[in-house]
Amino acid sequence: MGGAWAPGRALAALLLTASALSAALLVPGAPPEPDADAAQPRDVDKKNHIELKMDQALLLIQNELPKTNLTVYWTSDRCYHCLPQVLASVSRSGKPGKLSTTAVAVSTQHKSILQLNDTLDDKELCRLEYEFGEFGNYTLLVTHVHNDASEIACDLLVNKNPIDSNLPVSIAFLIGLMLIIVISLLKFLLSLDDFNNWISKAMHSRETDRLINSELGAPSRTGPLGGHDAQTETWPSPAARLRCVDTFRGFALIIMVFVNYGGGKYWYFKHASWNGLTVADLVFPWFVFIMGTSIFLSTTSAIRRGCSRLKLFGKVAWRSFLLIYIGIVIVNPNYCFGPLSWDKLRIPGVLQRLGVTYFVVAVLELLFAKNLPDTCALDGRILSLRYLMSDWPQWLIVLMLENMWLGLTLLLPVPGCPTGYLGPGGIGDWGKFPNCTGGAAGYIDRVLLGEDHLYQHPSSAVLYRTEVPFDPEGILGTINSIMTAYLGVQAGKILFYYKDSTKDILLRFGAWWFALGLVSVILTKATENEGFIPINKNLWSISYVTTMSSFAFFILFILYPVVDLKGLWTGAPFIYPGMNSILVYVGHEVFESYFPFQWKLEDSQSHREHLTQNIVATAVWVLIAYVLYKKKVFWKI
**What residues are annotated to the active site?**
271
| Other Cβ atoms within 10 Å of 108 Cβ, number | 25
**Ordered alpha helix ranges (H), 432-498:** 440-448, 460-463, 475-497
Percent helix, strand, coil in the chain (nearest 5)?
Answer: 50, 10, 40
**Cα–Cα distance measured from residue 478 to residue 356, given in angstroms and rounded to the nearest whole number:** 8
**Cα–Cα distance measured from residue 319 to residue 78, given in angstroms and rounded to the nearest whole number:** 41
**Cα–Cα distance measured from residue 154 to residue 140, given in angstroms and rounded to the nearest whole number:** 7
CA dihedral 606, 609, 610, 615 (to 10 degrees): 150
| Other Cβ atoms within 10 Å of 325 Cβ, number | 14
**Ordered alpha helix ranges (H), 4-138:** 7-24
Per-residue burial over 160-180, b = 16 or more CB atoms within 10 Å of its CB, e = otherwise: eebbebeebbebbeebbeebb
**Cα–Cα distance measured from residue 84 to residue 119, given in angstroms and rounded to the nearest whole number:** 15
Q: Within 13 A of 489's CA, how many CA atoms are on the CB side?
A: 27
What is the 8-class DSSP label of residue 261?
T
**Cα–Cα distance measured from residue 422 to residue 415, given in angstroms and rounded to the nearest whole number:** 14
Do the strands 148-160 and 137-145 form a parallel or antiparallel pair, or are they unpaired? Answer: antiparallel
> What does the radius of gyration of the chain's CA atoms come to, in whole angstroms?
28
